[in-house]
Amino acid sequence: MIHWTIFPSDLNDQTDQAYEPHFQECTIDGIQMVIEVLPTGKARINRLLSPDPQDYLNSKYQPGTEITLYPLLESTYSSQNMMD
């Protein structure tokens, strides 16, 4: 088979490393949805799982919209543990 391309031949070998999408359920602003986590540190909304029809009319949460992910750190210590 002949493969004609403008790219160097060493770049063609990287086609074996295909991108595998990673989907995750999450809740944003009280709306449950499925997002695709992208390698850039962002995510793309894949679909909404909300039973509220108004959520589907919100253009902020349309499928295909990219959102930025921020890490959330939660403390495992309560103020009661700190006083002991």
Q: Residue 40 corresponds to which tokens in the numbers above?
A: 């850039």
Task: Write out pLDDT tens, residues 24-62.
Answer: 999 999 999 999 999 888 999 999 999 999 999 999 999
Cα(18)–Cα(64) distance, rounded to whole angstroms?
Answer: 21
The per-residue pLDDT for 69 is 85
- The residues near 48 (Cβ < 8 Å, ≥ 6 apart) are 31, 32, 33, 55, 56, 61, 63
The per-residue pLDDT for 54 is 93
Q: How confident is the model at residue 71 (pLDDT cuts 50, 70, 90)?
A: confident
Average pLDDT, the chain: 81
